[in-house]
Amino acid sequence: MIFAKVFGFILKSVSLDSCCKFLGSAAILLAAAFLAWHFLVPGRPDADPSRKKIADRAILKLADDLRRHRGDIKHVAVVHFRNDASDYFTLNLREKLATSGVFDVEDAAFSEKMNYMLKLRNKGSFDTAAAVKHGKSLKVQAVITGHLERFESMKGGALVVGTVRLISIPEGKIIAEIPVNESNVSSFFNNVSGTAPRGAEGTEIGGTPWHIRFLIFILVMLLLPVLSIAFIRFMVAKRSNKCNVFVLGIYTMVDLILAWFMCGGFVSGLSVIIFFAAAVSAFIYNASIMSFALKLES
């Protein structure tokens, strides 16, 4: 197998001690860098409860308006809305359209997800030409863009004002330009009720902070074989390939489970890449520890 040959070449070219030290040091430095970034980088503003509530109502109405104007369009992409600094409106509209079956919605762009993970702001776009270019690259039937002129809370409630466009691809024709104007500031609107979709915390890029999941994965991957080195030495001392494969499989399986939770499942191409990178790293590290233990028993 190619992977076995590559792994054997690495073990022959690099000493086990230096390999383990390098992997451990690199992992710790990487984890420290991610934590430092999380605590030092300026935070992205989150929408308060009143803004979330009014956004949820506006999204429900907007989904119905888009359904009426869609015609034969089914496959769409939602570009991050301009002036949606909290990401709340864009994320929840994308999820509402996808989960309700109104459209077959493309996943968020890679750059958008990276900005979200790194706590950076997404500038968004309301440019028709840029939307057409983005839609052609994804081979969708239409692109949804939006611009939020006002999305703010105030005494007595909140309001959201903006414009949303449904643009056909590849023609670039604006099929519909839908105004967004929702407010619950007056007592009349406070009596209006609606069913709100799940918040951004329930999406694939929300939940437990990613840096915490990453740190847990790194610590367990590095410390589990070290803390149980006595067991590993006992097993490799048997000089049995079956025992070695069993031990390597057990430790790697634990790491794979943690990697799965770290990525939140295979929700995007990026999560798949991160999962397999974590799996390969865990396999190499565990194999190195076992080889080191075998060397001690020799």
> In the chain, where are the structural domains located?
2-40+208-297, 49-202
Confidence (pLDDT) at 205: 39
Question: In this structure, how many other beta carbons lie within 10 angstroms of the beta carbon of residue 282?
Answer: 25
More confident residue, 201 or 41: 41
Mean pLDDT of 228-248: 81
More confident residue, 90 or 211: 90
Burial of 258 (0-12, 13-18, 19+ CB in 10 A): buried
**Token pair recorded at residue 160:** 């959201």
pLDDT score of 157 more than 70: yes
Contacts for 185-193: CB closer than 8 Å, 24+ residues apart: 185/154, 185/155, 185/156, 185/157, 185/158, 185/159, 186/156, 186/157, 189/157, 190/157, 192/57
pLDDT score of 4 more than 60: no
| CA neighbor of 81 nearest in space, from 154, 150, 139 | 150
Q: Are strands 104-105 and 174-183 parallel, antiparallel or unpaired?
A: unpaired
pLDDT score of 65 more than 60: yes
Most confident of 30-34, 40-44, 140-144: 140-144
Dihedral-angle region of residue 272 (phi above 0 means left; psi in -120 to 50 means alpha; beta otherwise): alpha
Burial of 58 (0-12, 13-18, 19+ CB in 10 A): buried
Q: pLDDT confidence of 243, banded at 50, 70, 90?
A: confident
pLDDT score of 188 more than 50: no
**Token pair recorded at residue 209:** 């902070």
Angle between helix 229-236 and helix 269-297 axes, rounded to 10 deg = 70
Confidence (pLDDT) at 177: 93
More confident residue, 56 or 111: 56
Confidence (pLDDT) at 12: 59
**Is the CATH number of domain 49-202 3.40.50.10610?**
yes
pLDDT score of 87 more than 70: yes
Q: How high is the mean pLDDT of the chain?
A: 79
Confidence (pLDDT) at 179: 94
Contact residues for 131 (Cβ-Cβ < 8 A; gap 6+): 79, 125, 143, 145, 165, 167, 172
Confidence (pLDDT) at 225: 84
Confidence (pLDDT) at 76: 94
Contact residues for 139 (Cβ-Cβ < 8 A; gap 6+): none
Confidence (pLDDT) at 245: 84
